[in-house]
Amino acid sequence: MTRPLIYIPIEPITERYTEQWYRCLPPQFKAAGFDVTVVDGTPLLNNEIKVGTFLDINSTTHYKWSQLMQISRLFQTGQIADGSVFFFGDIEFWGREAVRLLADMNGVKVKLTGFLHAASYTFEDAFEVAAPYQQYTEVGWIAALDEVYVGSEYHKHAVVSRRLDPVGAGHLADRIHVTGNPLFMNEYHTFDYGSKQNLIVLTNRFDQEKRPGDTLDVFEAVKSRVPEWNFAICTSRPTLRSNDPSLEARARDLQNRGVLTIYEGLSKESYHFMLHQARVMVSHSIEEMYGYCIAEALVYGCAPFLLAGASHNEMVEYNPSLLFRRHSSVKEQAARLIDLMETTISNQTDVVFDYKAKAARKAKALTLLTNRLVSL
């Protein structure tokens, strides 16, 4: 008899990785031997983000609470069996601790697990505003789960040092397991046409916390020295959007002056083709717990040029040529970026092979995650 697994996904948003998780995780869980039940929710918006950055705060709250109501009904109707495994696509789920209470009060032995992406302890994250009243709740979420999965050692250290240790809950650190984020390699298009161009891309969300303004500074500096190289901002949104309108205005100005091109409304395939052609992607984000943009660049043999620190060091396996210091000058960063570009041009075959090998190692995260669930 297969073991029941109740999957509580994040709502699928096309421009976020949540859509891939929504589609791709259930077949993976089934392949691992689970009988999977997906507890879907009801969003307020259809594939949109109006208030917030990563998800729409109003819509995602409604989605999560409608999931919680369904879970309550599953317990009420006796559909949750002993030995069931719950997997939350995101444990930052208000009321999630109620599932432990439901199991305890109904006398059902279950295992509660889930992925932790970020929370109010994440510097410059949209939820940082919730820290004064959510910090203790976050400890409660971890205490209520049997296992918590994170994408990097950096993230685990951040949770332990910023939330667990300050309240004497350091013993809960043993529940946090570093698996890496699932990377679904069959979702990435294979191109038998096109080749690497002298193209440098910015693929992060264009919100203030990702520091795109710093990246634009470097783009402008390099363009003045190597005008034949091309620079691009990539977004799947119909139009470029930021929580800082001045960043949008500056990007438009740079496009008008011929410094860069803004590619808007990109499909997944078009975005992947941009990475297939690009030699380098740049990120100035100061707080990344994993970084799907980086992993996707590696899949296509595109060199990530990253601000040193956070999970960036792990993402590029501590390769110093791919990291720059936080307080280095724009001039120094531009010189480093030019060196990296020239290396990718002169050693293209070896460089692309190396980065794709890094991506293949990151793809093992999916196996690590499912193995953890099977072992419970």
Query: Could you give the CA distance from residue 237 to residue 241 in angstroms, rounded to a whole number?
Result: 8
0.75 surpassed by pTM: yes
Q: Which of 138, 119, 99 is nearest to 8 (CA)?
A: 99
Kindly tell me if the per-residue pLDDT of 268 is higher than 70.
Answer: yes
Q: Which range (191-195, 236-240, 316-320) has the least confidence?
A: 191-195
> Could you give the CA distance from residue 115 to residue 87 in angstroms, rounded to a whole number?
8
How long a stretch of residues is the chain? 376
Res. 261 pLDDT band, cuts 50 70 90: very high
Residue 48 pLDDT > 90:
no
User: For residue 251, what are the CA distances in angstroms to 224, 236, 278?
Assistant: 16, 16, 19
Tokens 């199991």 sit at which residue?
Answer: 103
Please report which confidence band the pLDDT of residue 3 belongs to, taking 50, 70 and 90 as the band edges: very high
Same fold for the pair 3-185+363-375 and 186-362: yes
User: At residue 195, does pLDDT exceed 90?
Assistant: no
Q: What is the pLDDT of residue 103?
A: 97
Question: What is the dotted CATH code of the domain comprising 186-362?
Answer: 3.40.50.2000
Describe the chain by its helix, strand, coil percentages, rounded to 5: 50, 15, 40
DSSP string, 250-319: HHHHHHHTTS-EEE-S--HHHHHHHHHH-SEEEE--S--SS-HHHHHHHHTTPEEEEESSTTHHHHTTT-
User: Tell me, what's the pLDDT at 51?
Assistant: 67
Nearest Cα to 247, choosing from 214, 220, 218, 213? Answer: 213
Give, as one character, the DSSP assignment of residue 140.
H
- Mean pLDDT score of the chain, rounded to an integer? 93
How many Cα atoms are found within 13 Å in the side-chain-facing hemisphere of 54?
20
CATH number of 3-185+363-375: 3.40.50.2000
Please choose, from the candidates 203, 214, 142, the residue with its C-alpha nearest in 3D space to the C-alpha of residue 174. Answer: 142
Strand-strand pairing, 261-263 and 230-234: parallel
**From 111-120, 165-174, 185-194, 329-338, the region with the lowest mean pLDDT:** 185-194
pLDDT of residue 54: 73
Whether the Cβ atoms of residue 230 and residue 199 lie closer than 8 Å to each other: yes
Predicted pLDDT at 53? 67
Sequence-ordered list of residues with C-beta below 8 angstroms from that of 32, at least 6 positions apart, any chain: 370, 373, 374
Which backbone phi and psi does 154 adopt, to 5 degrees?
-60, -45
pLDDT band at 252 (very low <50, low <70, confident <90, very high): very high
CA distances in angstroms from 286 to 127, 200, 206, 212, 289, listed in the order given = 16, 20, 14, 11, 10
Q: What is the DSSP letter of 96?
A: T
- Residue 345, both tokens: 């041009």
Query: Do 181 and 219 contact (CB within 8 A), yes or no?
Result: no
pLDDT tens digits for 139-191?
Answer: 999 999 999 999 999 999 999 999 999 999 999 999 999 999 999 999 999 89
Domain residue ranges of the chain, discontinuous segments joined by +: 3-185+363-375, 186-362
Q: For residue 130, what are its two tokens?
A: 């919730």
For the chain, percent of residues with pLDDT exceeding 70 = 99
CA 224 to each of CA 103, 230, 333: distance values in angstroms, whole numbers, following the listed order? 62, 11, 14
Our separate counts of H helices and E strands in the chain read 13, 12
> pLDDT for 72-86, tens place per residue?
999 999 999 999 999
pLDDT at residue 87 in the model:
98
Rounded distance between C-alpha atoms, residue 207 and residue 188, angstroms: 25
**Does residue 4 register a pLDDT over 80?**
yes
- Per the structure block, which two tokens stand in for 315? 């993402």
Q: How far apart are CA 321 and CA 323, in angstroms?
A: 6
Cβ atoms of 270 and 190 within 8 Å: the answer is no
To the nearest whole percent, how much of the chain has pLDDT over 90? 77
